[in-house]
């Protein structure tokens, strides 16, 4: 449950008029697991090295500070600060170059306006395009690394994330109201790098995302279009995703198909691959079961067999409405020329030396605890 810090309480401390202050809401999740991670079919570079480890892994824990002020006439000023912290490290996030503080505003962080008639317009950092598949494997206390994003949102044989597979910076975003279940998100980024770099080269970078969707009481269908050009070089990404799900009884069955391509600065195609996933979930009382099978097809541009396949299963038990504990098993198999990895394993939530290289396979067993507030 969110804890609301009322404006009148803050006004009393600051001796300021209560009517001039906004409503502030603090929420978030703490989610940490103990993992047994193993690399199967290790490459020659691992000769004499360990191929398995036990580790404590943060699963993108966060504290969210949300602000809303009623402006009248159905209009509100809104803002959000999404603070991510690696609860397992206590210092710099491991695996990042350069290392970043264990507490940062790397989440969905923005400010803007919301209207009851035309939706919301925000400026800041947003999740765009990636993760649109209806995969609930990482919901509640399922392990984040087991998500189908691992294959669905990476191209170039697993080497390049599409839409960064994270928040896109420098974004202006419009979210429509719901028109009888139909919604649309339209977003534009002036540059997908952390800093603007139009002046560093001959090409100005930018990105756009369109995401229409229709959601009914027991089903959804949607699509997402992505295009991004890099600052300075003009290297380009294109992505299209079609996704949907149906619910009946305690079941949720979904599907998604992803088409992604990359063009280099010279205009030559460097990657063109398709991927698909089928997620299945079942909930009964406090018991949650989630599964997905995901396949990245062979890249049409890159030579060699660079396909990959993955399946994952998670059982989560709800200890309360806010707290859950779960066990996850995931297996990712790379073909001889593919180097896909578990989602976030190669970034700040992984461990040193855990990145899989071409032809290596991964296995993950995780026990995870999640508390939402």
pLDDT in tens, 274-290: 999 999 999 999 999 99
pLDDT category, 103, cuts 50, 70, 90? low
Residues in the chain: 373
Q: Has residue 269 been placed in a domain? A: yes
- Give me the DSSP letters along 315-344: EEEESSSSEEEEEEEEEEEE-TT-----TT
pLDDT in tens, 112-131: 999 999 999 999 999 999 99
- The neighbouring-strand residues paired with 172 are 123, 188
Q: In this structure, is the dihedral angle defined by the CA atoms of residues 298, 303, 304 and 306, taken in order, positive or negative?
A: negative
Mean pLDDT of the chain: 91
Q: What's the token pair of residue 83?
A: 């603070």
Q: Has residue 112 been placed in a domain? A: no
Q: What would the 3-class secondary structure string for 105-136 be?
A: CCCCCEEEEEECCCEEEEEEEEECCCCCCCCC
Q: Has residue 296 been placed in a domain? A: yes
Taking the C-alpha atoms of residue 163 and residue 14, their distance in angstroms, rounded to an integer, is 42
Domain total of the chain: 1
Closest CA relative to residue 76, chosen from 111, 105, 110: 111
Q: Has residue 195 been placed in a domain? A: yes
Q: Has residue 201 been placed in a domain? A: yes
**CATH number of the domain residue 242 falls in:** 2.40.160.10
**Between residues 91 and 7, which one has the greater pLDDT?**
91
Q: Has residue 272 been placed in a domain? A: yes
Question: What is the average pLDDT across 85-102?
Answer: 58
Range with the lowest mean pLDDT among 16-20, 66-70, 117-121, 324-328?
Answer: 16-20
pLDDT category, 100, cuts 50, 70, 90? very low
Instruction: Inform me whether the pLDDT recorded for 345 exceeds 90.
Output: yes
Q: Has residue 85 been placed in a domain? A: no
Q: Which domain holds residue 273?
A: 31-61+94-107+117-372
b/e for 159-170, b at 16 or more Cβ within 10 A? Answer: bbbbbbbbbbbb
Q: Has residue 70 been placed in a domain? A: no
Q: In this structure, is the dihedral angle defined by the CA atoms of residues 338, 343, 347 and 353, taken in order, positive or negative?
A: negative
User: What's the angle, vertex CA 282, arms to CA 278 and CA 284, rounded to 5?
Assistant: 175
Taking the C-alpha atoms of residue 200 and residue 214, their distance in angstroms, rounded to an integer, is 41
pLDDT category, 195, cuts 50, 70, 90? confident
Q: What is the pTM of this model?
A: 0.90
SS3 state of residue 186: strand
Q: Assess contact for 146 and 366: CB atoms under 8 A.
A: yes
- The neighbouring-strand residues paired with 361 are 40
């Amino acid at each position: 449950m969110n804890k609301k810090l009322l404006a009148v309480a803050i006004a009393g401390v600051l001796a300021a008029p209560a009517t001039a202050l906004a409503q502030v809401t603090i929420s978030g999740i703490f989610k940490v697991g103990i993992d047994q991670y193993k690399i199967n079919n290790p490459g020659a570079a691992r000769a004499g090295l360990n191929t398995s480890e036990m580790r404590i892994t943060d699963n993108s824990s966060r504290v969210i500070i949300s602000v809303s002020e009623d402006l009248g006439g159905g209009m509100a000023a809104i803002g959000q600060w999404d603070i991510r912290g690696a609860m397992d490290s206590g210092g710099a996030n491991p695996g990042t170059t350069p290392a970043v503080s264990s507490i940062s505003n790397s989440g969905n962080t923005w400010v803007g306006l919301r209207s009851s008639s035309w939706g919301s317009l925000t400026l800041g950092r947003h999740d765009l395009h990636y993760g649109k598949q209806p995969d609930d494997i990482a919901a509640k206390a399922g392990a984040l690394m087991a998500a189908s994003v691992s294959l669905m949102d990476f191209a170039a044989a697993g080497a390049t994330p599409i839409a960064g597979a994270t928040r896109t910076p420098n974004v202006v975003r419009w979210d429509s109201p719901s028109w009888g279940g139909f919604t649309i998100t339209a977003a534009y980024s002036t540059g997908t790098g952390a800093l603007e770099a139009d002046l560093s080269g001959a090409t100005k970078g930018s990105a756009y995302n369109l995401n229409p969707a229709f959601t009914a009481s027991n089903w959804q269908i949607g699509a997402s279009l992505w295009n991004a050009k890099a600052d300075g070089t003009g290297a380009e990404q294109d992505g299209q995703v079609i996704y949907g799900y149906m619910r009946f009884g305690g079941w949720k069955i979904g599907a998604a198909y992803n088409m992604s391509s990359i063009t280099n600065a010279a205009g030559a195609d460097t990657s063109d691959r398709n991927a698909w996933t089928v997620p299945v979930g079942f909930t009964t009382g406090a018991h949650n079961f989630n599964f997905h099978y995901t396949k990245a097809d062979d890249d049409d541009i890159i030579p060699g067999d660079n396909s990959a396949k993955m399946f994952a299963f998670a059982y989560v038990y709800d200890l309360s409405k806010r707290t859950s504990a779960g066990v996850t098993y995931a297996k990712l198999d790379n073909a001889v020329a593919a180097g896909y990895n578990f989602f976030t394993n190669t970034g700040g939530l992984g461990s040193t030396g855990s990145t899989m290289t071409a032809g290596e396979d991964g296995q993950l067993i995780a026990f995870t605890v999640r508390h939402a507030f």
